[in-house]
Chains A and B, each alone.
Chain A
Amino acid sequence: QKEVEQNSGPLSVPEGAIASLNCTYSDRVSQSFFWYRQYSGKSPELIMSIYSNGDKEDGRFTAQLNKASQYVSLLIRDSQPSDSATYLCAVNRWDSGYALNFGKGTSLLVTP
């Protein structure tokens, strides 16, 4: 079973700060990487996708991918209390109809 690892947290940051979330994966052939946000009791919501090495920015969110190090991260700038949620890292599985392998998630708490 290919693994996706995340620190469970909680990660606590003050409002307006940068939150940095990290993820490592074990399957070197993985090609597509995703960050989902999940509020308590709700389903995952796609935040970012990234497929190439480097950075990808979308508003306050930046995803970073380093395939050589098998590492993907998510930066949230100007963090808001509404960003408080669990962030799930997911990686496509080439062997299961491109289903997703998920990490257990990092809990983020943004304090006012």
Chain B
Amino acid sequence: DGGITQSPKYLFRKEGQNVTLSCEQNLNHDAMYWYRQDPGQGLRLIYYSQIVNDFQKGDIAEGYSVSREKKESFPLTVTSAQKNPTAFYLCASSTIQAQKTQYFGPGTRLLVL
């Protein structure tokens, strides 16, 4: 089955700890995105990447970092500099041709201990 996988489903972070959220896709999509969703809010863009070894900051990149070493993978690290990390994190991917429809993974819920 083609699709996007995210792991873990739930993640608990202690104060001062960096944590990494995994996102993998086998759709052969070039572009990948990370969004954050807070309760009752729309999704906000954290980082995006249109090609391997290149990525750009989105609207709320502070306290986050990413890498794009493989086309299939776009992990997100939530650093200790992110003071309010509790949220639902969503990874998406799309082609860079046509209308660029984005498809989402199942999400990771991050909670602070």
Contacts and interface: CB of A to CB of B under 8 A. Distances in A.
Interface of A: 1, 4, 8, 31-32, 34, 36, 42-46, 49, 51, 88, 90, 92-93, 96-100, 102-105
Label chain A's interface by main secondary structure: loop
A42 B107 contact: yes
B103 A32 contact: no
Contact of B42 (A46, A97, A98, A105): A105
Contacts of B40: 8, 104
Nearest to A45: B104
B104 A43 contact: yes
Contacts of B45: 93, 96, 99-100
Interface of B: 31, 33, 35, 40-45, 48-50, 56, 58-59, 90, 92, 94, 96, 99-107
A97 B50 contact: yes
Contacts of B105: 43
A96 B31 contact: no
Contacts of A93: 45
Nearest to B44: A102
Contacts of A51: 99
